[in-house]
Amino acid sequence: MRLDKLLERLDYEVLQGSDQIEITTLINDSRKAEKGSVFVCISGAVSDGHVYAADVAAKGAAALVVEHEVDVPEDVTVICVKDTRYALALMSAAYFGYPADKMKIIGITGTKGKTTTTYMIRSILEGVGHKVGLIGTIEAIIGEKHIPASNTTPESYTIQKYFAEMVKEGCDCVVMEVSSQGLMLHRTAGILFEIGIFTNLGKDHIGPNEHKDFEDYKRCKGLLFRQCRLGIANVDDKYFKDVFKNATCKVETFGFSENADLRAENVRLVSRPGYLGVAYHVSGLMDFDVEIDIPGKFSVYNSLTAIAVCRHFQVPEERIKNALKKAKVKGRIEMVRVSDEFTLMIDYAHNAMSLESLLTTLKEYNPKRLVCLFGCGGNRSRDRRYEMGEVSGRLADLTIITSDNPRFEEPQDIIDDIKTGIGRTDGKYVEICDRKEAIRYAIANGQPGDVIVLAGKGHEDYQEIRGVKHPMDERVLIAEILDELKEEGAQSRL
């Protein structure tokens, strides 16, 4: 492919060489440099790609895309652009033949609800014959292939590579989570979304490695609605108008409000032994009853979002209702049967907003006790720990403080911060640093009528300690604990 073809949607300046040369590969990782490559120098949080300019030139790279001058041999073409992250996104789209133009792309942004909603939408659309690719927090799904995710929204090159594979697999739609980080770092630049969705906004992802402040977080969320045809928004969220103030798309709304275009009415909780759900009536742009096997008000919002999207694909009401009954997401209010007397679930709630929403929802089902087990990730905002501790102390009858992904921090330091938050309440708590032992304590001490939530890890099957991801799946831990308790019970009867 010729270099100028890759650059055709960008403003750029040729500092040396020619933009008419042939290119073999597009890279932004200096380790992948080879003869004929074009290397995009990204200024990242950890390292600056410009530092590796001479190295990639020595490996045979034919061209570099930079933000400022670099010292490389005269036979290497150097292209200067204003923002190399933005350039990488548009060059990646060109490199893979603009695959997003061959499918309808649905993007979902918001503090919580993104993952569950993507799976709901995919379930409904696949049920009526669409072939749907998915990119999100848990995984990317391309045909029968499931690729574990490392970021909610991957790097732009990876997104375009996935899109190209989806086109090859016959996908006509893609539903993807679009994080504020992804928008801020131009990972989705150049994509025209058929539909952009706003679920809600809470004060999360503020910190040295994320957003500098809440205003920046709001601004980045709003970027999605400057690159989509239709925006579908939660009108009940207090930041809805802020997020959409610079929107250039047509806007539809959903929610409980009378002002919503698609409304949930007559909401009722459904509770049976081993089952928590919610039922409601959809009114406004559509008119039918629906029941979901996931409890709570936020499940109403998630399903309303899916319904609002699928209306634009002319999905029949019965297909929507049946698909919503089947839609399940690993680690999102995932019920794990451990007893006939109490309920245990795994959920990804890992910030104060999502934890408060979850615990408030579960309290509405009037459990005998609401038990919340959680920890907080290391090398993230300390405020999150105080806030989550305060939320659990206020809403749970018992909090079990444990370890999450301590990363490069001491687990006990994180636990102490959580205890500071709980200390602002009258909440009862125990602290058990080892997560397996904490889960064992929760199960062994479960009482009839309890609802026990293991929060924070959700779909994750590892624990990150000192830069190493150690295998740790809560489902596996629960199975091991049940076997151990059973064996101990058998021995005590001997």
Residue type, 347: D
* Domain positions in the chain: 3-92, 99-326, 334-492
Helices (H), ranges, 196-276:
214-222, 240-243
Q: Is the pLDDT of residue 492 over 80?
A: no
Q: Is the pLDDT of residue 275 over 80?
A: no
| Structural domain 99-326, CATH architecture | 3-Layer(aba) Sandwich (3.40)
pLDDT tens per residue across span 326-348: 777 889 899 898 998 899 999 99
Q: Read off the DSSP letter of residue 173.
A: E
pLDDT for 43: 84
pLDDT for 328: 78
pLDDT tens per residue across span 103-118: 999 999 998 889 999 9
First to last CA, the chain: 75
* CATH for the 334-492 domain, from 3.90.190.20, 3.30.460.10, 3.40.50.1820, 1.10.8.60: 3.90.190.20
Q: Read off the DSSP letter of residue 333.
A: S
Q: Is the pLDDT of residue 9 over 90?
A: yes
The H-or-E segment that residue 268 falls in is: strand 262-272
pLDDT tens per residue across span 409-433: 999 999 999 999 999 999 999 999 9
| Spatial separation of the C-alpha atoms in residues 225 and 245, rounded to whole Å | 9
CATH number of 3-92: 3.40.1390.10
Quote the pTM value. 0.83
For 73, counting Cβ atoms within 10 Å of its Cβ (0-12 exposed, 13-18 middle, 19+ buried), the class is exposed
| Spatial separation of the C-alpha atoms in residues 331 and 478, rounded to whole Å | 14
